[in-house]
Amino acid sequence: MKTQIIQLESHDETISVKDKIEWSQTHRVLLLWPRRGKILREQLDLVSLERHCAKLGSQLAIVSKDPNVHFHARQAGIPVFKTKSEAQKKPWRRSWRYYQRKRIQKKASKPRKTDLSHSPRKENRPPAMPLWKRLGIFTIGVIAVLAIAILLFPSATVRIQPRSQWTEHTLQVQGSVDTAFVHVSGLVPIQEVVTNLEKRATVPSSGSVQIPDTFATGTVIFSNLTSQAITIPRNTILSTTQEPPTHFVTTSEVIVPAGLGEEVEANVKARKPGVDGNQAADTISAIGSSLGASLKVTNPKPTTGGADVVLPAPSAYDRQTLTQEVLEELEASALDSIRDKISPDDVLLSEVPLIKEIELQRYSPPEGQPGGELELTMRVQFSAWVARGEDLRELGEKTLAASQARAGYQPLPSTLQIRNLTEPVGDDGAAWRVLIMWQNQAVWNESEIARLLAGRNPQQAQELLKAYEAIGEPMITLNPSWWPWLPFLPFRVTVSSEQ
């Protein structure tokens, strides 16, 4: 028998395969599954193809190595082969669906023996239930619904005010730089806080100083100690022999004639201005060069004309007073600066900050120089010892944890308060007393209270709650508000506390 072989592609689906089958003009259609790609692996797809071929009057067979296709094809009654040659050599067995369709068609072609449209109907109705029974069942249903509503619909909220009491504990606190941890005994670490401040201030000068004003001048006599003429250059240095020496210079070049004892006169001028240049006669006798071995010098007359001028200048008292004032102002500012650097909960252990280092102390004008006012610029590093607030808080928490609360009460860490009773004494080893306070709040079992109040009216519930010593005035809210009792189910009663 002639067979139409159709090669399927990996992208084929049910509709595209049906289109390929419709082009077939043979009584047998063999579908070859692709080597790659898994298509038409559902039983419904294979049944649809088998029905389509049957409609066209063809028999369907499949060549595939997919075990899933083999399984569903056998379930659908479609012949399955592993190779194309096997399909052409072996016979194709008819599908059981083919024979089932034949039986249905044969049975449908036979005429019916009876007309179902005129057959008498069988009465299968049950006997009617008495009215009193129906009313009873309806009443029981209504009562059941009402009972469920009474149990589940109402709700209540009970707000209670827990009683609380304060606990106070006085503790001696000791600050130490040698510890890094907080001890429940009261030992806490302390830290050094450092701040740098700079200030500039002036004060009028109260003293005076003599400042050299004019140069002293005079004449000297050079005597030749050799037989040759000697030239004395300008600015040759001469000096006195007393300590400290006063120096003079020649103002012009002179020549001492040749011959032992020959003399020449020369004008001289003091090297520095001031009264120190006014020297008595015969005091200038030294020559500050190699000419001293060939010449002798002396001043037959005193040198004159040197003078000093008196100008205002800062005195030692001015320096001392201004320094003290600047330090006091810096100390006051340093305390405020340190307070700004710490938190409000920190404890400052000293009222006066310590001077850790004077980084800059500059006076203008310098000492010994004239000036109408004295200016001082100071930069000082101050320090102070501080007990941190978080360490004191930790000390309070450890004290709270070590305390024994009254039965039925529990401490509230959020209410912890710490107050200083005395001022710290000392710096790096300061000691002071503190008051540690916290609240202990009553505790209870909320589910137990809910079970106790379930099914009670509000007045009874109020009286039962007042019997609890740890509970204040309660507030009961019913939903709906007109309901006379609290819910009978405890889980419908919500118990909450107002802090």
Residue 409, pLDDT score:
77
Residues 366 and 490 in one domain: no
Residue 195, pLDDT score:
92
Residues 198 and 320 in one domain: yes
Residues 349 and 302 in one domain: no
Residue 112, pLDDT score:
59
pLDDT < 70 positions in the chain: 1, 37, 94-98, 101-102, 104-105, 108-126, 405, 408, 427-428, 467-472, 498-499
On whether residue 429 sits in a domain, the answer given is no
**Domain end (from 347, 366, 387):** 387
On whether residue 119 sits in a domain, the answer given is no
Residue 237, pLDDT score:
92
**Domain end (from 107, 140, 174):** 107
On whether residue 424 sits in a domain, the answer given is no
Residues 97 and 35 in one domain: yes
Beta strands in 151-215 (DSSP E): 155-160, 164-176, 187-189, 191-204, 207-214
Residues 274 and 325 in one domain: no
Rounded alpha-carbon distances, angstroms, from residue 132 to 9, 124, 137, 143: 74, 24, 9, 16
Look up the pTM and report it: 0.49
Residue 52, pLDDT score:
87
**Domain end (from 309, 328, 347):** 309
On whether residue 92 sits in a domain, the answer given is yes
Residue 300, pLDDT score:
92
Residues 298 and 324 in one domain: no
Residues 200 and 349 in one domain: yes
Residue 204, pLDDT score:
93
On whether residue 130 sits in a domain, the answer given is no
Residues 79 and 225 in one domain: no
On whether residue 473 sits in a domain, the answer given is yes
Residues 220 and 300 in one domain: yes
Closest residue by Cα to residue 27 from 54, 57, 72: 57
Q: Which residues have CB under 8 Å from 488's CB, separation 6+?
A: 150, 151, 454, 455
Nearest-angstrom CA–CA distance, 419 and 140: 70
Residue 123, pLDDT score:
53
The angle formed by the CA atoms of residues 472, 442 and 436, to the nearest 5 degrees, is 115
On whether residue 436 sits in a domain, the answer given is no
Structural domain harbouring 15:
3-107
On whether residue 417 sits in a domain, the answer given is no
Residues 97 and 221 in one domain: no
Structural domains counted in the chain: 4
Q: Which residue has the tokens 């419908």?
A: 492
Residues 450 and 480 in one domain: yes
Residue 272, pLDDT score:
92
Whether the CB-CB separation of 493 and 156 falls below 8 Å is answered with yes
Residues 298 and 334 in one domain: no
